[in-house]
């Protein structure tokens, strides 16, 4: 029997590229959905920044991340890929993580091979990764734990040398990973990504950061990636706009010359669904 995840899983496994953006809460997810992206990835970097105001060092717990992700799933109508960090422990912890996030309705999960607690490679100079054997065992555990065979398991390697990333990518694909994700600073050109794609024999999951933003064309990305994500553009856009407007507001005490556009109340009410709730109130609340 086909599952709700099957069409999306078939698309990514076949190598057809799905473009996505990174959500850090339910509102950012709604905006990504509204913009027309075919999928959403929740970003641990953004969740940590938005909900804790702290760096992405796996300071939040599995259940805190799950709470954010479940709210994202509830408010969008496109597949959601969850950043599930290291799986929050060993292979047995990974199995519980898969079951909890699958129950929340995600279409897939990304697991990385860092030691737990992890450090975001965007900001940390030194990161510790697991042995290849333990990293592969965690992917096997994730694959074993999923109840829906079309829930995607994406294996990320934080190896920083090309040879090691390819070695690990092959092992994780052999362990059952549907896609392989390198960190952006491991490879430095399209040829390297092509070598990884050929070696692992499954599509790549690419987070479009750093040189991938500036040096690659969309066509090149689509040659190697099943999933292509702009993980931080929403977070950084919101930060820049809020910073600019709040600086102006604290100085001028006026909204007349704010540097960034402000959404109208009517538009915002439409975005978050006031009309739908008002319709339900009229239908179900007594006395209305």
Full 3-state SS string of the chain:
CCCCCHHHHHHHHCCCCEEEEEECCHHHHHHHHHHCCCEEEECHHHHHHHHHCCCCCCCCCHHHHHHHHHHHHHHCCCCEEEECCCCCCCHHHHHHHHHHHHHHCCCEEEEECECCCCCCCCCCCCCCECCHHHHHHHHHHHHHHCCCCCCEEEEEECCCCHHHHHHHHHHHHHCCCCEEEECCCCCCCHHHHHHHHHHHCCCEEEECCCHHHHHCCHHHHHHHEEEEEECCHHHHHHHHHHHHHHHHHHHHCCCCCCCCCCCCHHHHHHHHCHHHHHHHHHHHCCCC
Separation of alpha carbons 138 and 166, rounded Å: 18
Which of 29, 120, 143, 202 is catalytic? The answer is 120
Residue 122: active-site member = no
The catalytic residues are 120
């Amino acid at each position: 029997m086909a599952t709700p995840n099957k069409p999306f899983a078939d698309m990514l496994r076949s190598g057809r590229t799905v473009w996505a953006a990174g959500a850090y809460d339910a509102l950012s997810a709604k905006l990504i959905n509204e913009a027309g992206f075919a999928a959403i990835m929740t970003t641990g970097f953004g969740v940590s920044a938005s909900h804790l105001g702290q760096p992405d060092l796996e300071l939040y717990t599995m259940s805190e991340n799950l709470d954010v992700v479940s709210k994202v799933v509830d408010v969008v109508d496109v597949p959601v890929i969850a950043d599930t960090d290291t799986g929050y422990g060993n292979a047995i912890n990974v199995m519980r993580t898969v079951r909890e996030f699958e129950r929340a309705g995600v279409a897939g999960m990304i697991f990385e091979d860092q030691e737990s607690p992890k450090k975001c490679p965007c900001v940390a100079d030194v990161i510790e990764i697991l042995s290849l054997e333990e990293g592969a065992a965690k992917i096997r555990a994730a694959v074993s734990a999923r109840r829906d065979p079309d829930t995607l398991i994406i294996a990320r390697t934080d190896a920083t040398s090309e040879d090691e990333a390819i070695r690990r990518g092959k092992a994780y694909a052999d362990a059952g990973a549907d896609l392989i994700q390198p960190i952006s600073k491991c490879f430095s050109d399209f040829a390297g990504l092509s070598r990884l794609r050929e070696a692992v024999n499954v599509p790549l999951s690419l987070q479009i950061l750093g040189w991938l933003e500036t040096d690659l064309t969309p066509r090149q990305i689509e040659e190697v990636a099943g999933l292509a994500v702009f993980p931080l553009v929403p977070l950084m856009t919101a930060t820049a706009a809020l910073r600019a407007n709040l600086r102006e507001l604290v100085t001028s005490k006026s909204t007349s010359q704010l540097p960034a556009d402000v959404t109208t109340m009517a538009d915002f009410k439409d975005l978050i669904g006031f009309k739908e709730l008002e319709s339900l109130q009229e239908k179900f609340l007594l006395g209305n």
